[in-house]
Amino acid sequence: MKQRKVTAALVGNPNTGKSTFFNAWTGLHQVTGNWPGVTVEKLLGEIDLPGGDQMTLVDLPGIYSLHAVSEDERVASEYARGGEADLIINIVDAVNLERNLYLTLALMELGKPMVMVLSMTDILERQGFKVEMGALAERLGIPVVSANIQRRASRQTLERAVQEALATKQRQVRVVYPESLNQAFLKAWREGEPEVRAVHRLEGIIPGAEAVIASVEAVLGTTPDVLIADARYDKIAELTRGIVKQVARARTEFGRTLDRFVLNRWLGIPIFLGIMYLLFWFTQVVGGCFIDFFDVLGDTVFVSGLGNVLTLCHAPDWVVTLLADGLGTGVQTVMTFIPPVFFIFLGLSLLEDSGYMARAAYVVDRFMRLLGLPGSAFVPMLVGFGCTVPAIMATRTLSNRRDRLLTIFMAPFMSCGARLPVYALFGAAFFGLASGTMVFAIYLSGILLAVFTGVLLKHTLFVGDPAPFILELPLYHIPRVGTVFKQAWERLRHFVFRAGKVMALMVLLLSVCDKITVPNFYAPECENAAPISIVEMGGRALAPVFTPMGVERENWQGSVALIIGLFAKEQVVSALNTLYAIETTAGTEGQLTASTSELASETDSLPDEIAPESVPTWATTRAAFAEGIVNAFATIPEAVAGLLGTMLDPLGVSIFASEYEQAVKVMETLARADRSVEQRAAGLAKLDAVLGMESLHTALAEATVTRDAIAQQVVQNPELQSSLDAANATLEDVVTQLRHASELRRFAMALAEQTGGNEALVAAFKDKVEAYYRDSMSAELESDASLMETLRTKFDHDKNRAFAYLLFVLLYVPCLAAMATVVREIGWGYGMILFSYLTILGWCVATLYFQITTGHTLTWVVTPCAILAAVAAVFYAIGRKTKVKLVV
């Protein structure tokens, strides 16, 4: 017998267990991709049927009818109505049989062989009911089997039903439509095409019968699609009469009891916020435990490791720069996003498979509708506070293109964790103990501007009605481990191999620009001025643009840091540190007079073992590679050890509510009234806990042991000198922290001895706390006092200048990783509109804030307002010209 290759379309309503059935039947024989021209995932599975036939099973997105209202539904409808599939396998929820049969009857009209697969039969049985599958199959004229194919016998029954449907002429049931539509069908029908095409035209599924529909509505007072639907539901009532029978007493429905709390008017929001908080913690904190692992691993393999190998192979410098520093850094950047992206999709899959996600959308839908978005758009917004990349990826769960576009435009306003080091640096330098208030103001500014953007775009660029809110509350399930991990893996793979490619290329381009140097045109009076990179030249050229927002031309390092921040926002800190240090070392701009030959001679005079850049050998390369791998794995237990301590602070904002601020509160309470010896002792014990004295002493002992052990090894193996330097640096940091904490504790003990509320001592304690706070922040940021002082000098000791700069950091284009993800999701056209809008809005908001608070220049108050008005006008014009369709 000749073997055949057939294609079957797996079609069904959403939340009917279609994906579970698909995974169970196809196993590991699956291929994923995207449908041509859209971002909807395409999932194929290969199945070997008895007799040698091979079937390709196409898993289509869930649909309620062939009338599409979203991009996903359009894909499913067009494929089902097309001629590519030889067979339709219809998944039907036995618990909601009548509603699911509406799609079944519509599919039968296509005239293709069909097999019905009943899912959720176990849940129906728990409710005390059973479907008579034999009787239903006889009435429908197609095979009806169970979706539970874990047992071999059930799988064989399904495969025989498929072969029977393909081999025999089915006598499927037909719907009889009212005679009042006969003339309409004739007018909508085209000669030589199937009759079902006329039905689809009258339903509005395909165009071509608008005039006929209008005439029917004028005569009958209703549209043809309503009459067609009524006829189908009449047929469904006839088909299901006596099919579902009660066979036992219904068991307690746990889901209904749970919904009384989850969907409660007063309890629903707190429960939702609690679950979202856990999702955020799971994504950013638990997922964040593995970021350092991928970062160190990426550097070891693709940057330093690849660079050393290329150097040893005598590759030209430009090849090393291109492959290791450029492409290698790009791959490393992509790798650091693997944990948050995987964990956000793992968390979303857990919520989806449990049945809660639809309920979450229902709870917050009313609020989100004010912005023209469905309730499910809240999740990407929340995730954006941790990382913009998974937030943008999470918009794929939204049903239509307009909702995805609007959500992606709003997601970057949620301040991601990468900006926290920048806030911390400026907080320590300018705001002291008010840093917590400052960072709250930044986060609040982002939220308010996101709302402003949503309202603006709703009425200009993305004019149109939001997607119809048709919500089905699926039954609660215990999440299935295999399904959850498979969904998360597929989405992660899509990110790595699609958005990751664009991201790596963008990082490569910026890395190369940062390596290419040009003559320093900004110091022409200095013959031997060191050359500058293209990035630095661009930053200097843009410096005048930032003057209205308080960044003077002399502070060109601030504009250069913004460009370098495109790699990752936290790079703004290291860029400022490096650029300010170079200027400080050189004295003033234009005084870099050391010649290249002098620098070379100084380098040559150094001993080989302390030369700044020793030439790698194969031995040192192998040792460094092994050490890098060990260090990468060592980061995981260190990060996991601190998980529980982050439960109350997943954003990491505790860096602003530091131990010193907590110490102030403890000691103020202790010193403002008479206290007993026991109360003072309790207060000091609480202070010890706040300062982490026990953990600091433990860290000191461990760092000392580590340093001494490595020092002994260096005697035998000098190649470990870099490890000894790192151990010494770690020990020095611990000693510094312990010294600060100890001195503060001694001062607190003296304060605790005073009674009666000595206000002078309390004030002195506050001053001392703030001084130590700034020193500690400098240590945490790997900065020193000179950076803090230089930063304050460059920003004229003005908090308003600093805050305006932070507003721009919050608002201007996100990092390269986020930009690459945006381009992959919505294309270059809307991507460039978003990047331009963010940068323009950032400049306008920062300029307005600075000019209103400090600058007081009327021109620079009016100009940003005019620019924002012009942007709104452009958006309105584009929106009128190009309507964003729900289905594209």
pLDDT score recorded for residue 40: 59
pLDDT score recorded for residue 602: 36
pLDDT digits (tens, 9 = 90+) for 323-379: 887 788 778 877 877 887 788 778 877 887 787 877 877 787 777 777 777 777 877
Top pLDDT among 451 and 760 is at 451
Top pLDDT among 579 and 828 is at 828
User: Whole-angstrom Cα distance, residue 343 to residue 690?
Assistant: 31
Instruction: Give the mean pLDDT of 387-406.
Output: 79
What average pLDDT is seen over the chain? 78
Instruction: Give the mean pLDDT of 197-224.
Output: 89
Q: Which two tokens stand for residue 313?
A: 């192979």
pLDDT score recorded for residue 835: 92
CA distances to 296, 349, 596, 597 from 607, in Å: 30, 58, 19, 18
The label of the residue with tokens 């929340």 reads 382
pLDDT digits (tens, 9 = 90+) for 618-661: 888 888 888 888 888 888 887 776 565 555 555 555 544 445 55
**Selection from 177-191, 280-294, 613-627 with the highest mean pLDDT:** 177-191
User: Whole-angstrom Cα distance, residue 427 to residue 417?
Assistant: 15
Instruction: Give the mean pLDDT of 385-391.
Output: 78
Instruction: Give the mean pLDDT of 597-611.
Output: 36
Top pLDDT among 432 and 783 is at 432
pLDDT score recorded for residue 9: 92
User: Whole-angstrom Cα distance, residue 149 to residue 120?
Assistant: 12
Q: Is the pLDDT of residue 89 over 90?
A: yes
**Selection from 236-250, 664-678, 758-772 with the highest mean pLDDT:** 236-250
Instruction: Give the mean pLDDT of 846-875.
Output: 93
pLDDT digits (tens, 9 = 90+) for 846-857: 999 999 999 889
Sketch the domain layout of the chain as residue ranges: 5-246, 642-792
- % of the chain at pLDDT higher than 70: 77
**Selection from 569-583, 647-661, 748-762 with the highest mean pLDDT:** 569-583
pTM of the model: 0.60
User: Whole-angstrom Cα distance, residue 218 to residue 225?
Assistant: 14
Angle at 700 between CA 694 and CA 704, to 5 degrees: 150
Q: Is the pLDDT of residue 181 over 70?
A: yes
Concatenated DSSP letters of 323-362: IIIIIIHHHHHHHHTHHHHHHHHHHHHHHHHHTHHHHHHH
What's the pLDDT band for 739 if we cut at 50, 70, 90? confident
Instruction: Give the mean pLDDT of 484-510.
Output: 72
pLDDT digits (tens, 9 = 90+) for 794-811: 888 889 999 999 999 999
Largest pairwise CA distance in the chain: 102
pLDDT score recorded for residue 465: 55
Instruction: Give the mean pLDDT of 534-560.
Output: 84
Residue 9, φ and ψ in degrees, nearest 5: -100, 125
What's the pLDDT band for 140 if we cut at 50, 70, 90? very high
What's the pLDDT band for 607 if we cut at 50, 70, 90? very low
pLDDT digits (tens, 9 = 90+) for 229-243: 999 999 999 999 988
Q: Which two tokens stand for residue 386?
A: 């941790």
Homologous superfamily (CATH) for 5-246: P-loop containing nucleotide triphosphate hydrolases (3.40.50.300)
Instruction: Give the mean pLDDT of 59-88.
Output: 85
Name the least confident of 135-139, 597-601, 683-687: 597-601
Contact 443, 384 (CB under 8 A): no
What's the pLDDT band for 837 if we cut at 50, 70, 90? very high
Instruction: Give the mean pLDDT of 535-550.
Output: 84
What's the pLDDT band for 604 if we cut at 50, 70, 90? very low
pLDDT score recorded for residue 141: 92
pLDDT digits (tens, 9 = 90+) for 444-478: 898 899 889 988 988 888 876 555 555 566 777 77
Top pLDDT among 822 and 652 is at 822
Top pLDDT among 432 and 603 is at 432
Q: Is the pLDDT of residue 34 over 60?
A: no
User: Whole-angstrom Cα distance, residue 674 to residue 107?
Assistant: 82
Beta bridge pairs of residue 54 = 5, 48
